[in-house]
Amino acid sequence: MPVRTASARTRISRRSRWVRALSGVAAALVLAAAGDYAVLKLHAMSGPFLFQGADCAGPRGGGTITTASDPTLGASQWTTFQAAPDHNAVLNTGSPAGQALDASWRFQTNGTVSTVPAVVDGVAYLGSMDGCVYALDAKTGRLLWSFGANNQVMSEPLVSGGLVFFGSGNKGMGVVAGLGTVRGTGVSALYALDARTGRPAWSMPTVGGNMTTPALADGVLYDVGGGKTFYAVSATSGKLLWKLPVGSYVSMSSPTLVGELAVFGGAEPYGLIAVNVQTHRIAWTLPLPQAHSGVDDVTPAASDGVVYVQVPEGSVIKRVVEMAVRASDGQILWQRTLGTDPYNVAQRALGQGELSAHDGEETGVATVVDGVLYVGSPGLGGLWALNAHTGQPVWRLPAALGQGVRTAPAVDGHTLYAASNTTLFVLDAESGALLGHIPLGTFRERTGIMIPCTTAGPLVLGDTLLVGSGADANTIRAIPLRQLP
């Protein structure tokens, strides 16, 4: 990347003022054409930051250093989706600090909270579809700071080295010359913020949305999004190290690192893609021509060199298939048909683009614990436990008990927590027996059509469970485990 003079940086600052006014992917393309696409960085943390603009709940981060009331809570860093490749977000359980946490609080944003909060050093960092990232005291729920981005934030924040990383973007569709169909409209970007103050460190605009959660390893952020491009970015400086076209757009299938491979799902064409982050090349692809949507939305779970994904097959009547794939070469190890999704038939019969409570959320994200795969299906409803080595069913929670679980369940010892859009379920992890459930809210209506309300979590933090739901007035809640069934 060429060294820029002070005058060149001044021109970048001037451009940032009018870039905010542009809409669509064209804004990022303008920057690329101008030669300023690589990194736009604030020097001395002064002046307006590129693309900051969303209205957040509560005050913005003003540069004041904030501290958590109990910095021993949570992890020391958060470097991947759901904290670990197996997606089991359970922290501090059994530790003196974790046992001390018996919190009950609620925090409301101006939009749906769609990812599990990243809890690091006593602070819960979460993104919201209102376009903001919030830092909350994990023990009390008190707002420490907020930051308004340039687009919706569906990316789960990563936290490491005193910085918070996330992407911005939305699920709109567009067409870009040379790329074809891309996912994401408006100007999208990768961001890094100071974890203590919320003040920006750097940002990098991208073509296409960044709804995915990056993966962080050895000081490098790996990201893929709606612009059909895989990025490797320096976490400390925001410098673009290298990029690779992958041929498919990605919605919310975050890259899962398995050794030197980053595995994710893409659309048009549909399939799984593995990028070797050492050679900067595509290691393998697994075409899934029978798939129809959803593959690009589900983040693969990984355990013992195997990745697990859910694939909806067929464009009229959807057959939902869970699949185990060997990470080293992309070979399918087993497939298990979970059932046929009935909602798509009714949707087409009414000629509606929106109908069902789970519309737009067609795939479930899995959790792998001790050789068992736990996964739900928004379309089919219910929850499954499968033998992770063979795909054989262990148990199933019937579909009649909920709209279906999309987010990864949390397994804390013998207890499993899983959330649908409106309900938190508590089950015996070994038998699947339903121990109880509590409501998270109700679906909203718009002109008689049900609006889907994405769920965030659950995450177990000591003796407390964190969960969020758009059906629950866009809130994130801390619930003491003693209050659950």
**pLDDT tens, the chain, 485 aa long:** 333 333 433 333 333 333 333 333 333 333 332 222 223 333 222 223 444 567 888 766 556 778 898 999 999 999 999 999 999 999 987 666 545 578 899 999 998 887 889 999 999 999 999 999 999 999 999 999 999 998 999 999 999 999 999 999 998 888 888 888 889 988 899 999 999 999 999 999 999 999 999 999 999 999 999 999 999 999 999 999 999 999 999 999 999 999 999 999 999 999 999 999 999 999 999 999 998 778 999 999 999 999 999 998 887 667 899 999 999 999 999 999 998 866 544 444 444 443 343 444 578 999 999 999 999 988 788 899 999 999 999 999 887 665 678 899 999 999 999 998 788 999 999 999 999 998 887 655 444 444 445 678 899 999 999 998 766 668 899 999 999 98
For the stretch 30-35, contacts whose Cβ atoms lie closer than 8 Å and that sit 24 or more positions apart, written own/partner, are 31/205, 32/207
pLDDT at residue 439 in the model: 87
- Joined tokens for residue 384: 């499954």
pLDDT at residue 74 in the model: 93
pTM, whole model, 2 decimals?
0.85
- ∠ Cα 113 301 389 (to 5°): 145
Is the separation of the CB atoms in 407 and 419 below 8 Å?
yes
- Rounded CA separation 33/177 (Å): 13
- Per-position b or e across 351-374, b if 16+ CB within 10 A of its CB: eeeebbbbbbbbbbbbbbbeebbb
- Rounded CA separation 469/472 (Å): 5
- Joined tokens for residue 20: 């905010």
Phi, psi angle pair for 7, to nearest 5°: -65, -35
Sequence-distant (≥ 6) Cβ neighbours of residue 481 within 8 angstroms: 460, 463, 464, 465
- Joined tokens for residue 49: 């930051």
* Structural domains in the chain plus CATH codes: 6-483 (2.130.10.10)
Q: Which residue from 143, 237, 144, 146 is spatially nearest to 190, judged by alpha carbons?
A: 237
pLDDT at residue 458 in the model: 94
Q: Is 256 helix (H, G, I), strand (E, B) or coil?
A: strand
pLDDT at residue 4 in the model: 37
Phi, psi angle pair for 346, to nearest 5°: -65, -40
pLDDT at residue 402 in the model: 52
Write the DSSP string, 356-411.
STTTT---PPPEEETTEEEEE-TTT-SEEEEETTT--EEEEE-GGG-S-B-SPPEE
Helices (H), 283-337: none
